[in-house]
Amino acid sequence: MKKNKRIGMLVDELTSNPCKLFDSKHFCEKFDIAKSSLSEDLAIAGEMFEETGTGRIESISGVGGGIRYIPGISKEGIRELQAEMIEALSDESRDLGGGYLYTSDIMFNGSLVERMARIFVQKFYGLGANYVVTVETKGIPLAAQVAFMLNVPLVVIRREAKYSEGSTVSINYFSGSSDRIQKMSIAKRAVEPGTKAIVIDDYMRGGGSLKGIEEILHEFDVEVVGMGVAMVAVKPEKKRVENYIPILYIEGNKEGEKKTKFSANEEL
Amino acid sequence: MKKNKRIGMLVDELTSNPCKLFDSKHFCEKFDIAKSSLSEDLAIAGEMFEETGTGRIESISGVGGGIRYIPGISKEGIRELQAEMIEALSDESRDLGGGYLYTSDIMFNGSLVERMARIFVQKFYGLGANYVVTVETKGIPLAAQVAFMLNVPLVVIRREAKYSEGSTVSINYFSGSSDRIQKMSIAKRAVEPGTKAIVIDDYMRGGGSLKGIEEILHEFDVEVVGMGVAMVAVKPEKKRVENYIPILYIEGNKEGEKKTKFSANEEL
Q: What is the pLDDT of residue B62?
A: 86
Task: Report the pLDDT averaged over residues A188-209.
Answer: 96
Compare A101 and B1 and report the one with higher pLDDT. A101
- A95 and A225 assigned to the same domain: yes
pTM, to two decimals: 0.97
Q: Give the pLDDT score at B253.
A: 57
**Does the pLDDT at position A256 exceed 70?**
no
Residues B129 and B167 reside in one and the same domain: yes
Please report residues of A whose CB lies closer than 8 A to that of B103: 164
**Are the CB atoms for A4 and B4 separated by under 8 Å?**
yes
Regarding whether A39 and A102 lie in a shared domain, the answer is no
Averaged pLDDT, B25-36: 96
Which pLDDT tens digit goes with each residue over A1-35?
Answer: 899 999 999 999 999 999 999 999 999 999 999 99
pLDDT at residue A252 in the model: 76
Closest CB to B110: pick one of A102, A136, A147: A147
Judged by a CB distance cut-off of 8 A, whether residue B158 touches chain A is yes
Interface test with A, best of B2, B9, B183 (most A CBs within 10 A): B9
Percent of chain A predicted with pLDDT > 70: 98
In the three-class reduction of DSSP (H, G, I as helix; E, B as strand; rest coil), residue B46 is classed as helix
Tell me whether B145 touches chain A (CB under 8 Å): yes
CATH number of the domain to which B20 belongs: 1.10.10.10
Three-state SS for B237?
A: coil
What pLDDT is stored for residue A90 in this prediction?
A: 93
Q: Across the interface, do A8 and B11 touch by the CB < 8 Å criterion? A: yes
For residues A232 and A245, membership in a common domain is answered with yes
Q: Which of A71, A92, A126 is the last residue of a domain?
A: A71
| A166 in reach of chain B (CB within 8 A) | yes
pLDDT at A163 > cutoff 90: no
A18 in the same domain as A96 = no
* Cβ neighbours of A52 in B, within 8 Å: 9, 12-13
Total domains in chain B come to 2
Give yes or no for residue A253 having a pLDDT over 60.
Answer: no
Q: Same domain, yes or no, for B91 and B46?
A: no
Residues A142 and A243 in one domain: yes
- Count of A–B CB contacts within 8 Å? 181
B44 — contact with chain A (CB < 8 Å)? yes
State phi, psi for B201 to the nearest 5 degrees: -145, 165
The distance of A266 to chain B (nearest Cα, Å) reads 24
Same structural domain for residues A38 and A107?
no
B128 near A CB under 8 A: no
What's the rounded mean pLDDT across residues B111-123? 98
pLDDT confidence band for A258 (50 / 70 / 90)? low
For residue B96, what is the domain's CATH number? 3.40.50.2020
Residues A89 and A180 in one domain: yes
pLDDT in tens, B137-186: 999 999 999 999 999 999 999 998 888 899 999 999 888 777 789 999 99
Q: What is the pLDDT of residue B242?
A: 93
pLDDT of residue B256: 60
* Average pLDDT rounded to a whole number, residues B233-244: 93
pLDDT of residue A259: 76
Range of the domain at A51: 3-71
- At residue B137, the pLDDT reads 95
Over 90: is that where the pLDDT of A174 sits? Answer: no
> Average pLDDT, whole number, for chain A?
94
Last residue of a domain, one of B71, B101, B126: B71
Q: Are residues A35 and A106 in the same domain?
A: no
Residue B64 has pLDDT above 90, yes or no: no
Cβ atoms of A74 and A52 within 8 Å: the answer is: yes
Is residue A112 located within the same domain as residue A227? yes
Of A37, A71, A105, the residue that ends a domain is A71
Quick one: B45 and B66 in the same domain? yes
Chain A residue with the nearest C-alpha to that of B157: A137
Per-residue pLDDT, averaged over B52-65, amounts to 93
- What pLDDT shows up at residue A254? 61
